[in-house]
Amino acid sequence: MTKNDADRQLLRKSGYKATPSRLAILGIFKKARKPLSAQEVIDALPRSADQATVYRTLKSLNGKGVLKQIDLRHNHAHYELADLAEHHHLICLACGKIEIVHHCGMEETQARILRSSKHFAEIRQHALEFYGVCKSCALKEKKNN
């Protein structure tokens, strides 16, 4: 259980109890290495935890910065482990294909924005996603015209 201990600590440090469901959910995100929806997490859980538990867990881990919420334009939230190297996504609006985008260079921009903001005390996260059409979907679109 050496591996698990890191997650236990992470949870404790964030002010949560290290329960089996939470450890399992973290484990799923570690394996997946791509944005997962609540439903995908539920399906991936071996002895399915209740959906309410999954939703609650995702929301609170997102709040604590353990997970990061991603908007893939699918009408439901996706999440990813936040401590993976900082990256963003390029998402095909037609088929959903995802490509990783590194180096957004937003760290300084974010600091500048906060400094020049009238009302804000803190920036906790930012979303930067690019929506487009992948090459194979672009071909298909051409055919259909």
Partner DNA sequence: TTTTAAATGCGAATTATTTGCAAATAATTT
Partner DNA sequence: AAATTATTTGCAAATAATTCGCATTTAAAA
93's contact among its own copies, DNA, none, with CB below 5 to 8 A by partner kind, is its own copies
Contact letters for its own copies, residues 55-94 (x by CB under 8 A):
--------x-----x-x-x-x-x------------x-xx-
Q: Give the whole-angstrom CA distance, residue 112 versus residue 60.
A: 28
Q: Which does 12 bind (CB under 5 to 8 A by kind): DNA, its own copies, none?
A: DNA
From 60, 80, 77, 59, select the one nearest 68 (Cα to Cα). 80
Distance CA 55, CA 18 (A): 16
Q: Is 76 an interacting residue with respect to DNA (CB under 7 A)?
A: yes
Site for its own copies in 10-49 (CB under 8 A): none
**Nearest-angstrom CA–CA distance, 100 and 98:** 7
Q: Which of residues 22-61 bind DNA (CB under 7 A)?
A: 22, 37-39, 49-53, 55-57, 59
Q: Which candidate, 85, 72, 88, 4, places its Cα nearest to that of 40? A: 72
Of 130, 127, 72, 124, whose CA–CA distance to 101 is shortest? Answer: 130
The half-sphere exposure of 38 on its side-chain side, counting CA atoms within 13 A, is 17
CB of 114 to DNA, least distance (A): 26
* List of residues contacting DNA (CB under 7 A): 8, 11-12, 15-22, 37-39, 49-53, 55-57, 59, 74-77
* List of residues contacting its own copies (CB under 8 A): 63, 69, 71, 73, 75, 77, 90, 92-93, 97, 99, 101, 104-106, 109-110, 113-114, 117-138
